Structure 1
Amino acid sequence: MTPTPRERLDSTAHGLLEDATARLAPKPHTNPLVPLVADGRADRRALAALALEQCRIIPADRRSFLHLAARSGDTGMPACAAFFGALAEGETVALDRLGPLLAACEVSAEQAAAYVPMAGCQAYPAYVAWLALNAEPADAVLALTANFAAWGGYCAMLAEALRARYGFSADACGFFDFFAGPAPDLDRAGLAALQEGIDRERVTPPTALRQGRLLQDYEEMFWGSLAGLA
């Protein structure tokens, strides 16, 4: 059966995302912290710092996604707006799950308030904020979605290791479980947003790949900074 124009475009969106994800996949051994956690060799202060850094990253990313949603709506890109709105809702859920993780890491409210974040960890959300202000939303869809695959894999490994090696409870691992689990609705929303960008010629793959590469580099900085405490 000959595919309809819409089916051909859907295939192009899916293929574009698959290609970007493959191109931006982290090389082996670029995350020095997760293997240490998997072996039970990471110092708990590195785990605490991870949670504390996320306390700053999650709200920042949520605001960035809301801004991208607003920009998308203002420029007549409803699928992009819906995708970024869904990302912002996810950040709200993730933020609620940080409390049990902080408690498992024995971080008090006073320590959390006094914590000074590391530049290497905060470079990623700073660049997401840059994307929110400057990127074409459809390009940001591609750059961010391609990067999420690596983050989800790391979260799955951390959730398993924290249970097996550190005795963390299900609640304490809930933050990582949330990002590690399948998200078919979000996947569909991302493809629809990317499709919208293709339909309206608002996606520039070389630009999106450059943005995605920077996101991946900043994520490597995040893990490397934390590994310095392990």
Structure 2
Amino acid sequence: MTVNPLVPLIAHGEANRATLATLALEQSRVIPADRLAFLHLAQRASPDAPESAAFFTLLAEGEALAAERLGGFAAACGVSEGQAAAYEPLPGCQAYPAYVAWLALNAAPAEAVLALTVNFSTWGGYCATIAEGLRRHYGFTDEACAFFDFFAEPSPELDRKAAEALRAGRDAGQLDEERAHRYGRLLERYEAMFWETLREAT
């Protein structure tokens, strides 16, 4: 796996605040886009794959909760409402949610479940590291770190629903694991592109 070029800098207090602000602004576009993609996947899955529908519904609910917590981070980074409204997203950062949207339209629901869950632990680890770095080196409060704390926290319920969706997909012959892992590898690369773009842009 590619070494993350930005998270270690935040962990050691070496990333500047402009970079943190850009991270907040990019996430303000990623989170609502992913939420809509997950809702669409839940809708697609509901007739024939209720287990996958339950998984994506829970994911969408999580994105809504994360969005509520993102404002504290953005405010701590000094992002104003005017800046947020005028911000032009970076293509390299938005490739990930664009591909999630592609999966929402094209992938079999169970295959999307597998592709998305492959990288959950990595993302959660990044968030835990960022939250610790923000507290230790930047003096951010719990409110400012709540977005990252949320994703860093394990979710046994989400893991259970993912396992149920994958089991049902296999039983129904609706899960091509080779193709799903191909989707997952692309998602991993697009996430790496997100961090690389942030590092290069600031």
| Structure ID, larger Rg | 1
C-alpha distance in 2 between matches for 1:93 and 1:178: 8
Shift of 1:159: 0.5
Q: Distance in 2 between matches of 1:167 and 1:102?
A: 14
**Identity value in percent:** 60
Partner of 1:126: 98
- Among candidates 40, 43, 47, match of residue 70 of structure 1: 43
Q: Please show how residues 175-186 of structure 1 align to structure 2 within 5 Å.
A: 175-186=147-158
CA drift at 1:229: 3.8
Unaligned runs of 5+ in 1: 1-25
2:7 matched to 1:34? yes
**5+ unaligned residues in a row in structure 2: which ranges?**
none
The DSSP-based 3-state class of the residue aligned with 2:103 is helix
Letter in 2 for 1:68: L
In the superposition, the TM-score normalised over structure 2's length comes to: 0.98
Question: How far did residue 39 of structure 1 move?
Answer: 1.2
Q: Partners of 1:136 and 1:183 in 2: how far apart?
A: 24
Indicate if the aligned counterparts of 1:59 and 1:95 stay in contact, CA closer than 8 A. Answer: yes
For residue 41 of structure 1, give the secondary structure of its aligned residue in structure 2. Answer: coil
Question: 1:142: which partner in 2?
Answer: 114
Are the aligned partners of 1:155 and 1:176 in contact in 2 as well (CA < 8 Å)? Answer: yes
1:173 counterpart SS class: helix
**1:23 corresponding residue in structure 2:** none
Looking at structure 2, the residues matched to 165 and 205 of structure 1 have their Cα atoms a distance apart, in angstroms, of 42
Aligned to 2:129: 157
The letter of the residue matching 1:145 is: T
User: Is the 1:59–1:91 Cα contact (8 Å) retained in structure 2?
Assistant: yes
- 1:46 is aligned, of 13, 16, 19, to 19
Note if 1:204 corresponds to 2:176.
Answer: yes
- Measure how far apart 1:108 and its partner are: 0.5
Q: CA deviation at 1:148?
A: 1.3
Normalising by structure 1, what TM-score? 0.86
- Aligned pair count? 202
Task: Find 1:55's aligned residue among 7, 15, 28.
Answer: 28
CA contact (8 A) 1:45 1:229 kept: no
